[in-house]
Structure 1
Amino acid sequence: MLLRVIVLALSVWSEDPVCKLWGKPDIPLLSKSGDFMLGGIFTLHNNIIASKPTLNLNYKEYQFAETMIFAIEQINNRTDILPNVLLGYKIYDACGTISLAIKAAMALMSGAGEAQSSTLPCSQQSSIHTIIGHSASSPTIVFMYCVELCIFSFSQISHFATCACLSNRKEFPTFFRTIPSDYYQSRALAQLVKHFGWTWVGTIRSDNDYGNSGMATFIEVAQKEGICIEYSEVIYRTNPREKFLKTVDVIKMASSKTIVAFAIFIDLEFLMKELLLQNVTGLQWVGSESWVSAKNVATKENYRIFKGAIGFSLANAAIPGTPGNAGLIKLWEDMFDCSFNTSHSKTCTGLENLQQINNLYTDVSELRITYNVYKAVYAVAHALHDLPSCQDNQESCMAKQKDILPLQYLKKVNFSANNGDYVNFDINGDPPARYELVNWQLSVNGIIEFIPKSVCSESCRLGTRKATQKGKPVCCFDCLPCAEGEIIHCLKCPLEYRANEEKDQCILKDIEFLSYDEIMGMMLVIFALLGASLTSVVTVVFFKFRDTPIVKANNSELSFLLLFSLTLCFLCSLTFIGEPTQWSCMLRHTAFGITFVLCISCVLGKTIVVLMAFRATMPGSNIMKCFGPTQQRLSVLTFTLIQTLICIIWLVKYPPFPQKNVNSNKEIIILECEMGSTVAFYIVLGYIGLLSVMCFVLAFLARKLPDNFNEAKFITFSMLVFCSVWITFIPSYISSPGKYTVAVEVFAILASSFGLLLCIFIPKCYIILLKPDKNSKKHLMGKVQAKSKYIIENNA
């Protein structure tokens, strides 16, 4: 900004001040006059001594310069592009330093050496308004800042400056390039590393805009992808050897086996020398396009270090025709190890055969970057060709180009190159990003090496999850088993699903309920039908011998009603087996509650009759008449109606319903009947328990009645079995899982029903069928004949 203010001030101070050169202007290394001049800046020599280029020639950059000359000559010989305009060029050598690159750029921008005298008006513009180059990002950035500060009307088209920062149109409005921005390459490299599962890597970068910007983007994207950086080393060609040795030590001590190198090949060469000396091999290198496809790096010696190296490169291309320029004396002398000076031991004749030389200059099989120079020259030519003035006549075109290069026409450039590649620029002056994936492999014997792993911790297998190790990066972790019902890396399955054995997908849980098809269900069905059948047999026996004393003595009406209720108890257990439905859930508990109350009411009625008959002080007492057959029927009806009313209220207000229990067991779904109202269920059970306790107490009080009339003893035993079953049922019911809960309930129903049937009726059937002589009034009356006679007669 200060420089811009000074320039403006000088322009105000004098309308046409005179500028003087402070030193001798640099002369371009290669030049040719023309109607429209193109500037070029390339690193034709790699190093400098005392600010002068040494004989360390850069063959690749010479190839860039020759390609620029070849493209210009090719355009000049064409009639379809700029037919009336002759293109010229001035090419300077940057010698691999920023200072000389800026010096060359300033010479091109200022037009130094173009005037005939040592003084010229400061308002005079240079004949060059477009520069091809530079190959590096840092010199290009400095040069573009100079253009902005010095208010020069210049544009630059780079073939190899890839720093993403150059896409900033506010800072670099006149910059274009024919190579994609590292914005894309850095992200592509991160995706490549992720693809191979390398989550633990080291990084190396050149200490310049190219390396720093590219690596910063790579690290940002890599960390988002879950890739951890173990170390990040910086290299530069001018660093002392100690720094390169320190970098080598870091690489050797690191546990990561993959290195991402975003570096210029010249910087990497110094590191390669130290790696070769210390034989640091067995690492997987991932490289940027600057070195991974450079043939001067991919030597057989370097292959020991970079075996299997992988990275992105620009698409290869072929340029038709081979440029030849016998005027490159230094290049010619260096290639053939001769001299045009006769004092040298070997004199150059100029007739040496280039086909016998194999170096980067003569190698036309890898023209990835070289082709970008070719496209840059053609981009300028097409922009000029689109100028209406250049299509009219030569004079107007030359006058136009002396004012300013038409940037708007460069922005609109869109043409097809020789290989079908379309050349155009986006709003940032960048071309479309297209890369090729390259991999270093020896073709001898066709042996392919597996790429090594580079992880801090092995990937967690399915069914386990990551647990970060304390104090270490996220890439270092332990693998902990997932909980039940979780898959892959502990993703929870939906409630109705479970994890398969491989822990890679959720599958539907098995549905469990007490089924007729399984052995347990079949056994319970058999016992239920057996109980109902046995009860029916007893009923037939009692009906057939209904006129005998033992049947009459046991109150035949209550006996038949009890047998009927027992049959219903056996059959109601079947509603508990099979898949629960809305109707079966409502039926099973209400039917069970009502039938068992009917059963217990009958037993209670029989117990009360026996107790009253033998506890009355006189056989003809009124107390016996207070509980005659009518009262017995009413008592049974009343007790049963109370339970029926409870069940009706339960079904109306909170009816039971089927539900899938997914919480009791993580592996299966238990299909069960939800009570609807737990309170109602407990009231039903409580009422049955109350009647059972009453019946047991009364039977217990009558247990010592005369032996010949042992109805009270049978009732006592039956109620003892009944209560024992249901007392043990409660803890078993609560602790049993899944379908076994229902099985326990069915077992309790069957066991208590069998207890009542066997204890009350089987002894009587034994007497009726096997001991008919005891089925008489005389035997039954025995002791206390009056009371026994009353019972028999009143229950006949």
Structure 2
Amino acid sequence: MKSPYLVILSLLACICTALSPNGSTIIKVGLLLYYIDGVYDWSDAIESIYLRIDQMNRENTSLIHPDAKIVPTLLNNHGQTKELIIDTLQMTQLEEIFIIGTGGSSKSIIASLILQNYNIPMCCGASTNPTLARKDLYPNFFRTIPNDNDATLSLAEYIVSNGWFKIATLNSDDDYGNGEISTFLTFAEQMNITILSRQIFETNIDYNGAVSIAKQILSSQARIVIYFGNALQYQTIVDASTKVGVYGEGFVWIGTDGLNGMVPTPSIAGTTFLFPLERDDGPVADQFDAYWKQNRLNVLNPAANLSQVNSTSSFGYFFSSCVDLMALGMDALVKANGNNVTKLALGELNSQMKVPSAFQFPDFETTTGKVVLDQNGERKGDYGIYNFQADLSFPMVSKWSNGREIQYMPYVYPGGTLVKPADAIDPTTVADYLRIVGDPLGITTVCIGILGFLMSIATIALTVVNRGKSIIKSSDINSGLVMQLCILVSWLNFGLMVNIPSKSMCTSDSFLLPITFSIYYGMMFIKNYRLYVLFTKIYQRKMFSNHMTIAVGVGISIPIIVLSLIWNFVDAPKPAVLSEGSGLYAWSCSSSSVSFQATMVSVISVYCAALLLLNLFIAFKTRNIPSKFNETKMISVSIYNSVLICLFAIATLSAPGINYRLKAAIKIIAVFCVLFFNLLSSFTYKVYLCWLDDEKGTSKGSASSKTGGSVNNDGVKKKSRDKSKVLDDAVVLMKKVGFWSEAKSRVIVAETPELVTFCNYQKLRLEDKEGVAFGAGIVWKLKGIKVFRTESLSKNHRKYIVDGDSFTITYLDTETASAWDSYFLIWTRTKNNASIATTSLKSTEN
């Protein structure tokens, strides 16, 4: 049973209101709302109804009759369904002729089902369930707030008006979220809106679950995200989406009325949500606001002490508009019945209060604007579009009214941008590339290119300046300069790696690195091959000249030049944006035919790989040819380095899942290491030795001599070798201890007591013992040697320590070993000022 105190309170309210000077005919209006401590929405709505009724009564604004006085009666059901049923039945006993309420849709359904049996119309300013629009089920119900279908339709219209036709949706897995998305999908199909991703989340979703959903949206490439859910889950989803990269610049996040009342935070700045427009901009609302501020403390209402605001707030205007429509409808009914307001008060006209016809007015202003009901008692509403700001405010930036937007201030989108994003990713605007400003990798790339370019220019200049010195003069300076120019031009490739590529940059990229690579390693191969022929072949009548070395080296690159020309003539690479998956893009150069480009790249790569392998082979074959400052070994190290780096780069760049920046970093490191080590080992070091010559006199590495050969600028020529039989006791097996050394058969020639030469030994024919000394030799020159020590390893094995080098020699027999021990005995006694000269038929530079 209803508490008798509440009934007494309601009756006292009626008596107090009746003492008002305006009107004596009581028009009873029931309120099926509730108030609970902490639930301010309904307490403010209750206060709005009481104040609006009091305003009509006191200011002679009653639209019913000058003698009429509207008297509200509130029965608090405390939000309980059972109490609501009791209160609704009690309203019929209290002879209420009109009911305003309730708070939720489910409660309005119950009240409407009861009241329709007594011909009592009911208006609501909060229930939005579309089911209540069915007049076959709820013939006495109408509302001043748009239903969910209208809100969803307006949302769809708003999306289309902005040119967004590709979206992602997020909805909570509850009655609200599922109902909203179901209706929206219907309108979306009618308006040709494509759903790129539809995600459903539990109401208790955690951060990890939100991250998973955000990744799904990211992979769909959607930029417009529509949220159908409540504020409770939204913060978690936004935090996860920000981490994934879905919430930020280039995205739009729009929520429904479920976000109303959300506490603003900096992280949700940029979110937009639609909410039915409560307050009208006209004079009716202004007058009501002024009356509210002046009289809210003077008007007796049960929820007065619970209201938290000084002006009407959430749902207040909607419920006060119910009072407006009720009054205007009753006024028309009274006038149609001879101005007999008594019949109205007694409920005799209730049968004529048809919904919605009795309350349909085409041009009537209420506190919430024009409320024009359709044939189902539904309002086509206006919507405020609210935008969360970084300063924690959420102003109404525009209004959606009758299918069009009225904008008041600029939107702020996620990421703080004012530019309206497109509905799908525009690859040209979001594609990644290396930037010169504000990009550490781009800045590093440019610096490496500039530094390498300047280093190459300095090396070329110093090479030309020192061209008259023995270190430079004894080498093939022309081919060396050509190879240095290849390195110089290759540094320009770092400039092609930054900024958005242009067509000319793409063309240059397809030529630059492959051609310089092929010319450099083509000439490297020919120079090393010339050394190989010179020092390992006995009967070689013809040798490459310096000019031929350049010609053949450049000629090796002709296939690469032809392939690059074919590529650019048939389907030239152009600037293009390539997808990396997961909504990520990057600028690149690409032909229109992917298969054609893959074929050309593969053929060019295979040719360059074959050229590099040839250099690897010839470097291995010539690694033990002695030359000034171990130059051949440095060249070998450079080629080994290039092979290893290329293998690493190819393996990593071919791996799946490598993003654009990692690929760029690998390419930068690989090209830099190859160019730097080539420049350092083949050219810069010689310039450094020239500087040592100037500073400290002749360096250790510059000492050289020739044995059995001559050199001129046109090439290398061998003298005829002595083909006399080599004595058996002169043939030894010698090995220099070190990583790059191997055992070699050599001929010992003691030219003077202070000079011993070890020359390579090779038989002319396998079936005889004739042989010659040929190629490069190692010379031990007593004069200047700092350390010379002999160690006996066995009867015919000796170990010789010559300065910092260690050599092991295997003699043919013990007698020969003893004879040479006697020869070197004086050396160990007279060691002085070390100098080990590595000699060859030619002082080589490679």
> Structure 2-normalised TM-score?
0.39
Over alpha carbons, which structure has the higher Rg? 1
TM-score (norm 1): 0.41
